[in-house]
Amino acid sequence: MTLGGAPIGSRAETGQTSRSETRQKPAKTRSEQMLERLLDYLRQPSVSLTGEGFPQATARTMRAVAAAGLEPLALETGGRPAVFGQRRGPQSAPTVLIYGHYDVHPAGDRARWNLPPFQPTIRAGRIWGRGSADNKGQHFAHLEAVRLLLERDDSLPCTVKVLLDGEEEVGSPNLDALVHAERDLLAADLVIWSDGPVHESGAWCVRHGSRGLLALRVTAEGPKRTLHAGSFGNLAPNPARILIDAIADMWASDGSIAIAGFHDDVRRLSTTERVALTRANFNDQALLEEIGAPDFEVGFGNASTFERLAALPSLSITAFRAGEARSASIPTVAEAWLDIRLVADQSPESVTEAVRGHFAKRGAKVGLEVLEAIPPSRVPFDNPFTPVVSGALEAATGALPLLVPGYGGTVPDYVWAKRLGVPSLGVPFANVDESNHAPDENLEVARFVAGVRISASILEALGGYPPQTSAA
Ligand SMILES: [Zn+2]
């Protein structure tokens, strides 16, 4: 697909061929200019958890939205503001809302980065820096597509709205209320989000929903002061043992999750979804080698690797803490953090109740605190926009994308169906080894440039929707 006369990335796109100019420094290609603008955007820290870079980050994002040719607006949320932008297209065409987030995960220990997190660089065909993939590089590709189309035609093929969350990395606590309050402003026919990696095989894909997240902290109390293990062993109840017992019991001996009621609301996959899952399955052996494990977790029967990720709930212990190493004492408290990924139609509330019930039934004196609760979503394959978006991806990349019914990670995708009543489709641009939330986060340059092409292709395809039936 060509835009503005020559494919993005080709030398011809600049049209600079005159002799006098070739002696000077060659003019920058469109890709080079886009990358320069992205690096500049990445230079602004925007860590929602710590506040690093705020409030400048919001202003910087407003400028990026305006520079693309959209009318920007900061939306107050009670927390960090969201940034909105829009530009009207023809009335006959649908309205698309592009969702992304401009906040980033903390950089963590800088010593673990090979390249500094907020001094983005391009090296070995990748853009390195915090936010390059999660999520600035991905939504910036959409902004560049808007800019490209406007530079070419001075108009957009369809109405484009952009909503950039400033709190996604802290669980988007205000997004649901914001979308509810601003439902007229945000009204659209579909939502497109680009976050997380492409399919594990590297293939482009269209995601139909994501898993939800329920983050819990569970605690057991012991003696009111730390006690000597020699003087009080056999006497003082040990909170670590109480908590270990309660948690271990969450799994049956075959490895399956044994919490009564946990699976009650899990939606059965349709035949089309099941076929799509099989098609999207990937090489188990390669994954095991990559993560350095001899085998996968047990307890999932015949479910394929991809089905476990995209269509089944998971329950992980992500941290456990009690006492001090070599202290020879009985601790006063034990704590564990549980990460539960939910699938349609489980709700954080009912699963929390199931976990609570599990402890209560065993008489386990365990406290439970909900740290984060994001419902899951699953968009039906037979919504009107899946063919439009997958056709646009094919036109832009030359390959039919994989259609997948879910995503192992969590994005606040449920709000679109709940608040706007429209389908939302995930079109991720990042490479699988993007290292999001880790040191050396990166986005392949080729994926970013393709992302711009894909986004422009989607907007153009939406411009032709609904397809005109035979001319009068
Ligand atoms: Zn993230």
227 Cα to the center of ligand 1, angstroms: 41
| Confidence band, pLDDT 50/70/90 cuts, at residue 447 | very high
411 Cα to the center of ligand 1, angstroms: 9
Which range has highest mean pLDDT (23-27, 261-265, 294-298)? 261-265
28 Cα to the center of ligand 1, angstroms: 32
69 Cα to the center of ligand 1, angstroms: 26
**Listed residues: CB within 5 A of ion ligand 1:** 134
pLDDT at 466: 84
SS3 letters across the chain: CCECCECCCCHHHHCCCCHHHHHCCCCCCHHHHHHHHHHHHHCCCCECCCCCCCCHHHHHHHHHHHHCCCEEEEECCCCCCEEEEEECCCCCCCEEEEEEECCECCCCCHHHCCCCCCCCEEECCEEECCCCCCCHHHHHHHHHHHHHHHHHHCCCCCEEEEEEECCHHHCCCCHHHHHHHCHHHHCCCEEEECCCECCCCCCCEEECEECEEEEEEEEEECCCCCEEHHHHCCCCCCHHHHHHHHHHCCECCCCCECCCCCCCCCCCCCHHHHHHHHHHCCCHHHHHHHHCCCCCCCCCCCCCHHHHHHCCCEEEEEEEEECCCCCCEECCEEEEEEEEEECCCCCHHHHHHHHHHHHHHCCCCCEEEEEEEECCEECCCCCCCHHHHHHHHHHHHCCCCEEECCCCCCCCCHHHHHHHCCCEEECCCECCCCCCCCCCCEEEHHHHHHHHHHHHHHHHHHHCCCCCCCCC
Tens-digit pLDDT profile for residues 126-143: 999 999 999 999 999 999
Q: What percent of the chain has pLDDT over 70?
A: 94
355 Cα to the center of ligand 1, angstroms: 27
133 Cα to the center of ligand 1, angstroms: 9
Q: What percent of the chain has pLDDT over 90?
A: 80
Whether 16 shows a pLDDT value over 90: the answer reads no
| Confidence band, pLDDT 50/70/90 cuts, at residue 2 | very low
Mean pLDDT of 36-62: 98
pLDDT at 467: 73
| pTM of the predicted model as reported, rounded to 2 decimal places | 0.85
196 Cα to the center of ligand 1, angstroms: 8
Lowest mean pLDDT among 181-185, 210-214, 248-252, 299-303: 299-303
436 Cα to the center of ligand 1, angstroms: 6
169 Cα to the center of ligand 1, angstroms: 5
205 Cα to the center of ligand 1, angstroms: 19
Identity of the residue numbered 328: A
75 Cα to the center of ligand 1, angstroms: 21
Mean pLDDT of 186-215: 95
Q: Which one is predicted more confidently, 409 or 214?
A: 214
What is the overall mean pLDDT for the chain?
92
